[in-house]
Structure 1
Amino acid sequence: MEGLAILCVLWAAAALCASEIAAEAQPPPVTNFSISMENLCTIHWQWSPPEGVNATCELWYDSQLGDDKDSRAISLNNFRTEEVALNERICLHVRTQCSVTSTNPSDAVEMCTVPPEGDPDSAVTRLQCIWYNLSQMNCTWLPGKTAPPDTNYTLYYWYSTLEKSLQCTNYYTEGQLIGCSFDLLKEKDSGSEKIQIMVKDAAGTIRPSYNITFLNSVKPHHPVITALSFQNDSLYVEWESPENFESNCLVYQVEVTDNKPELYRAEESKSKCHISQMPQELPENSKDKNCLVISDVDRDTFYTVRVRAKASKYCFEDRDLWSAWSPEKSIGEKPDPTFYTITLLSIPVAICISTLLLLLYLKRLKIIIFPPIPDPGKIFKEMFGDQNDDTLHWKKYDIYEKQMKEETDSVVLVENPKKTSQGRE
């Protein structure tokens, strides 16, 4: 009996080993591999099970997109559907195996898409889309390097609730960027929802460009400040949230400026808006709105306040897409611009006058401290030079007097004595 039991055990073990060997046998590869395109960026691969598979083998299909190991999937289905941007060649590798954890799969069979036609440098670049205020999708791009300047771009979009792709009609420009926006209002936020985008031209001169956009790049509309007041030594700021957002899906920044801007972070919380002494001018439902109380402020200072918002990481992917700043609101005593103008003009005038006075004072001080040293040459020149001049003066005077005396002498008449004596005779 013991020997018979041993034989049964050995027979069972052999049968088990034989079944395992049969299960681990390498199955043949798939056949009739085909590929088809749906919508704008949806690829559908399909294949047929191989023939001649062992009856004990339960076929599983191991598929992977190119070299991307994260895209590997093992399934019983003989097809696979993926949403992929078709800007380049996309290949799917499929192997068959007899179990989920098989270490002996079949040879891989590959099926690839055909890349878009046209010059790659003509395709648009920096194609990106932002979900604006949960109501509108804004897509922008830059023209390709070799695209003609007069290219007439066309944007098509598709998502799961549309029967077919639609063409965008609201085009605009932002500097060098070209953009188009279309309505996309959903009742519930879904970060897994995808939007398929394709941009090309009507003439077919540029290469089409594709993009898959998740509904997680969200940029809200700017908030609106509804109340601004002083509460004792605190500044009370109240604002309304943008539409379409739930109460816990936004965070805020409040900028308060007196002499320099200062940022305050305020997450939406109704409890923060409850203060003990509410001003009479605030609405009754202010406790249900967003607010921030800033302590230690000066009532005599002029403050300017504005608020902006972004989507919270608890609801969407945090991509730091802040909204535009809200319109500014001010409170406090505004400084008189005339006073500052006069002050600014007075400062340079006062500096110029002070400089002139200082220069004059320094010049006078220099003369007092360092008086001029007499020149000995001038002294001797005055001593001897003046005497020579006086001597010459007197010499000239004597000559002049002599000349004057000679001119004033009386004329003496002299008679010839001989002529007189002859006359007498």
Structure 2
Amino acid sequence: MEGLAILCLLWGAAAATEIAAEAHPPPVTNFSISVKNLCTIYWQWSPPEGVNATCKLWYDSHLGEEKVISLKTFRIEEVALNERICLQVRSQCSVSSTHPSDAVEMCTVPPEGDPESAVTRLQCIWYNLRQMNCTWLPGKKAPPDTNYTLYYWYSPLEKSLQCTNYYTEGELIGCSFDLLKGKVSGSEKIQIMVTDTAGTIRPSYNITFLNSVKPEHPVITALSFQNDSLYVEWESPENFESNCLVYQVEVTDNKPELYRAEESKNKCHISQTPQDLPGNSKDKKCFVKGDVDRDTLYTVRVRAKASKYCFEDKNLWSAWSPEKSIGQKPDPTFYTVTLLSIPVAISISTLLLLLYLKRLKIIIFPPIPDPGKIFKEMFADQNDDTLHWKKYDIYEKQIKEETDSVVLVENLKKTSQ
């Protein structure tokens, strides 16, 4: 009986401990919020007072739909401060407690100014793992003479810096700053804020992950015919590892027909020059197009994009490389003569066809004789012949008379002598 009593006491103590642990603890105290850098939010709080000694405090914090349960009395997040950001915190006596305290909420203050004055389409692209290019459009209600300013921050920096290299691309306004790969990691976040020097527009924030990468265009180093194939070789952009880029080759002949090659990731070892020796060569790629005609002019260009094995594939292709051509360009004289001879040939053919059709019509449909016309022509011919002979007799008679008179004159002169 005594053992049973001890067992009951122990069971009651455990039950009491469990009940105490599952009781509602008080809410946290001294809840505060602060913003550091540009978009780093610090939430801090103190443990609740009057908590049972058997309660091991955990803190359940909600940021939107993102839930974190931790023993820490703070939470740090990088969030774009374009709107009101709120964090709710509850204290509880276990990780999976179903009896947490009441929630305590702390929110940021939204940026001041008209929302329609803030810049739009703010985005940043990491160009060739060397510099960050950020662009935006002016807000609808922003003054036309607004002098924009961009600030940026990432973890190696002690404080935010101001961008100084501004430019325009059509309607877009942009600014670029150096961001070398050796100074940042692939998981780094870049905090961006765009405002104006006069404070007349609403600031705009952005958190940029280093996964939007746009490489520089490749450089074609070799273009040649090998047997019945077209061989293309190019150098990869700098700063990228060999397996972090994919390529696209565009081959155009003069027919014209457009040929797009498949993405090529194989290294080339076909051309061997002093520059290709180990230790001196850059990462080179190649593409071979079969069944080509050496008497045709081919124009080639290459572009690249980041591979999904190294970065998030956002289909950000580089610019096309400068074009290079190989083959024989057709003689323009031949095409000129051909173009000029076609209208002439058509004209002659048309004329001959008309003459042939007219002759064919006469043969197939001969004209019907007109008896009246025949008799008329017969009599007309006789009259014409009679007149002709009459004119001839009169003319001959005149010539004879004139000749005779001349003879008489000559005879008279001789007689007088």
Q: Which residue of structure 2 aligns with residue 52 of structure 1?
A: 50
Q: Which residue of structure 1 aligns with residue 265 of structure 2?
A: 268
1:369 CA drift (Å): 6.1
**Distance between the aligned counterparts of 1:4 and 1:367, measured in 2?**
145
Q: Which residue of structure 1 aligns with residue 37 of structure 2?
A: 39
**Distance between the aligned counterparts of 2:225 and 2:275, measured in 1?**
12
1:343 CA drift (Å): 2.9
Change (3 A) 1:23 1:361: farther
* Amino acid aligned to 1:147: A
SS of 2:181 mapped into structure 1: coil
Count the aligned residue pairs.
371
1:240 CA drift (Å): 0.5
TM normalised by structure 2 equals 0.81
Cα contact 1:97–1:104 (8 A) shared by 2: yes
SS of 1:23 mapped into structure 2: helix
Aligned 1:216-365 pairs, distance under 5 A: 216-258=211-253, 259-270=256-267, 273-275=268-270, 289-348=284-343, 350-351=345-346, 354=349
Cα contact 1:274–1:287 (8 A) shared by 2: no
Change (3 A) 1:371 1:172: farther
Cα contact 2:235–2:282 (8 A) shared by 1: no
1:11 CA drift (Å): 3.2
Change (3 A) 1:173 1:280: closer
**Distance between the aligned counterparts of 2:282 and 2:213, measured in 1?**
27
Cα contact 1:142–1:177 (8 A) shared by 2: yes
**Distance between the aligned counterparts of 2:113 and 2:70, measured in 1?**
36
Change (3 A) 1:229 1:28: same
1:118 CA drift (Å): 0.8
Please point out which of 198, 204, 212 is paired with 1:203: 198
1:282 CA drift (Å): 9.0
1:79 CA drift (Å): 1.0
* Amino acid aligned to 2:51: V
Task: Give deviations 1:205-263, integer Å, cap 9, x for gaps.
Answer: 11111100011100000000111111112221111111111111111111111131211
Please point out which of 66, 78, 84 is paired with 1:89: 84
Aligned 1:155-194 pairs, distance under 5 A: 155-187=150-182, 190-194=185-189
Q: Which residue of structure 2 aligns with residue 398 of structure 1?
A: none
**Distance between the aligned counterparts of 2:28 and 2:367, measured in 1?**
116
Cα contact 1:169–1:180 (8 A) shared by 2: yes
1:344 CA drift (Å): 3.7
Task: Give deviations 1:24-61, integer Å, cap 9, x for gaps.
Answer: 11111111211111111111111111111111111111
* Amino acid aligned to 2:334: F
1:340 CA drift (Å): 2.6
* Amino acid aligned to 1:100: V
Cα contact 2:189–2:210 (8 A) shared by 1: yes
Cα contact 2:264–2:287 (8 A) shared by 1: no
Cα contact 2:295–2:328 (8 A) shared by 1: yes
Q: Which residue of structure 1 aligns with residue 22 of structure 2?
A: 24
Change (3 A) 1:353 1:139: farther
Q: Which residue of structure 2 aligns with residue 103 of structure 1?
A: 98
SS of 1:163 mapped into structure 2: coil
Change (3 A) 1:21 1:178: same
* Amino acid aligned to 1:208: P
Q: Which residue of structure 2 aligns with residue 136 of structure 1?
A: 131
SS of 2:261 mapped into structure 1: strand
Could you list the runs of 5+ residues in structure 2 that have no partner in the other structure?
373-417
**Distance between the aligned counterparts of 1:282 and 1:366, measured in 2?**
80
Cα contact 2:235–2:283 (8 A) shared by 1: no
Task: Give deviations 1:46-96, integer Å, cap 9, x for gaps.
Answer: 111111111111111111113xx2x21111111111111111111111111
**Distance between the aligned counterparts of 1:49 and 1:253, measured in 2?**
59
**Distance between the aligned counterparts of 1:101 and 1:155, measured in 2?**
45
Cα contact 1:250–1:267 (8 A) shared by 2: no
1:328 CA drift (Å): 1.0
Cα contact 1:266–1:292 (8 A) shared by 2: no
Q: Which residue of structure 2 aligns with residue 422 of structure 1?
A: none
**Distance between the aligned counterparts of 1:292 and 1:316, measured in 2?**
24
1:279 CA drift (Å): 7.6
Aligned 1:385-424 pairs, distance under 5 A: none
* Amino acid aligned to 1:158: W
Cα contact 2:61–2:90 (8 A) shared by 1: yes
1:332 CA drift (Å): 1.3
TM normalised by structure 1 equals 0.80
Larger gyration radius, structure 1 or structure 2: 1
Cα contact 1:142–1:176 (8 A) shared by 2: yes
Task: Give deviations 1:157-193, integer Å, cap 9, x for gaps.
Answer: 1111111111111111111111111111121762310
